């Protein structure tokens, strides 16, 4: 709060959103300005020029990390006595900045400090009158629910990606929708700081993938392959998946190795914090990123093979 030319001025945070009409991903920060006349002083309307804001991420009372300098959308504002208005600042983010913000945020609220500097003098003043700089410091939080639901998804739509999560182009087949549903929930859990929950959602994405692959395999098995699976005894499920992945990728050894990878990944993702055997395990952000990375890469690769196989079958059928 400052008194400038008889106005007592207060700036407070109002809202934040991703701007649609910018090529570079840009977040708009809106602040509310309220003014009232100071007692026993002549109050005058103000001309405010060239406002800027240094934006920092607050880690503690003693630790801050500077994100960058935000520019105002307007070069000049007129602030009347006893008035209210908004002032908007734009800050651009790249993949590196966003990744570092997420690493520091650790799934919590986004705690920010805006050091706003503006130049002001009274309205209709003669040219050449000295102008004065006035600093404002505004501390504010963007709740994690707003950041995760209203801001992060729009940044992703701007083709900005966290460097720790692969941007995989998944094939447009029906099974992709089911797998992606769980991967999206895993990504949301990661943003919310539920790193252990990432494991459960990723495991569900693999289960959905396996169910779809098993259904596909039933339609392409030969009589001999079906007999081989039936005679596998306790290894029946593993034998079916070995044959299934082999038919999917067109090479027996490669198919077996993919199935081995699938078994190892599923075992890793079975570290579920909700299961009694694993209570007390501390899950870090790195654990969650690793689980999501591997799951997205594996499912994306297998879905691509499935898409190619289905196109080949359709072509052979038509031929």
User: In this predicted structure, what is the pLDDT of residue 163?
Assistant: 37
Locate CATH 1.20.120.330 in the chain: 164-318
Please list, in sequence order, all residues whose beta carbon lies within 8 angstroms of the beta carbon of residue 190, skipping any fewer than 6 positions away.
Answer: 107, 165, 198, 285, 288, 289, 292
CA atoms of 119 and 50, how far apart (whole Å): 7
What topology does CATH give the domain 164-318?
1.20.120
Locate CATH 2.60.40 in the chain: 2-143
User: In this predicted structure, what is the pLDDT of residue 124?
Assistant: 66
> Could you tell me which of 212, 205, 160, 163 has the C-alpha nearest to residue 184?
205
User: In this predicted structure, what is the pLDDT of residue 32?
Assistant: 93
User: In this predicted structure, what is the pLDDT of residue 125?
Assistant: 62
User: In this predicted structure, what is the pLDDT of residue 162?
Assistant: 47
User: In this predicted structure, what is the pLDDT of residue 171?
Assistant: 65
Helix (H) or strand (E) holding 2: strand 2-4
Distances in Å between the Cα of 151 and the Cα atoms of 43, 137, 175 are 40, 23, 28
Q: With contact defined as beta carbons under 8 Å apart, do 112 and 139 qualify?
A: yes
pTM: predicted TM-score of the whole model, two decimal places? 0.57
Each of the 319 residues of the chain gets a pLDDT tens digit; together they read 777 777 788 999 999 999 888 877 889 999 999 988 888 777 778 888 888 999 999 988 888 999 999 988 888 888 888 889 999 999 988 777 887 888 888 888 999 999 999 887 777 665 555 667 788 999 999 998 888 888 887 776 555 444 344 445 566 677 888 888 888 888 888 878 888 889 999 999 999 988 888 887 777 777 777 777 777 776 777 777 787 788 888 888 988 888 888 889 988 898 877 777 777 788 888 888 889 889 988 988 888 888 887 777 666 555 5
Return the CATH number of the domain spanning residue range 2-143: 2.60.40
> Could you tell me which of 70, 89, 69 has the C-alpha nearest to residue 28?
89
């Amino acid at each position: 709060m400052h008194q400038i030319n008889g106005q007592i001025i207060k700036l407070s945070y109002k809202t934040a959103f991703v701007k649609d009409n910018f090529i570079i991903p840009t977040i708009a920060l809106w602040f509310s300005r309220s003014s009232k006349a100071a007692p026993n002083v002549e109050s005058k309307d103000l001309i405010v020029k060239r406002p800027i804001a240094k934006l920092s991420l607050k880690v503690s009372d003693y630790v801050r990390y500077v994100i960058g300098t935000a520019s105002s959308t307007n070069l000049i504002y007129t602030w009347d006595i006893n008035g209210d208005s908004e002032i908007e600042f734009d800050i651009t983010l790249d993949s590196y900045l966003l990744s570092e913000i997420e690493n520091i945020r650790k799934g919590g609220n986004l705690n920010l400090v805006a050091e706003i500097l503006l130049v002001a003098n009274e309205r209709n003043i003669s040219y050449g009158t000295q102008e004065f700089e006035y600093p404002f410091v505004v501390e504010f939080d963007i709740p994690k629910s707003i950041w995760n639901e209203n801001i992060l998804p729009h940044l992703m739509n701007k083709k900005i990606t966290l460097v720790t999560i692969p941007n995989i182009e998944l094939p447009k087949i029906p099974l992709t929708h089911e797998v992606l549903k769980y991967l999206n929930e895993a990504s949301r859990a990661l943003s919310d700081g539920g790193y252990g929950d990432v494991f459960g959602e990723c495991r569900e994405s693999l289960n959905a993938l396996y169910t779809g692959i098993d259904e596909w395999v039933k339609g392409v098995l030969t009589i001999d392959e079906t007999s081989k699976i039936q005679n596998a005894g306790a290894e029946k499920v593993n034998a079916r998946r070995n044959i299934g992945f082999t038919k999917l990728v067109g090479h027996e050894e490669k198919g077996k190795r993919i199935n081995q990878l699938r078994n190892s990944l599923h075992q890793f993702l079975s570290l579920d914090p909700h299961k009694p055997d694993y209570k007390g395990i501390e899950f870090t952000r790195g654990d969650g990123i690793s689980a999501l990375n591997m799951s997205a890469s594996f499912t994306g690769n297998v879905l691509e093979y499935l898409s190619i196989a289905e196109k080949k079958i359709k072509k052979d059928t038509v031929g």
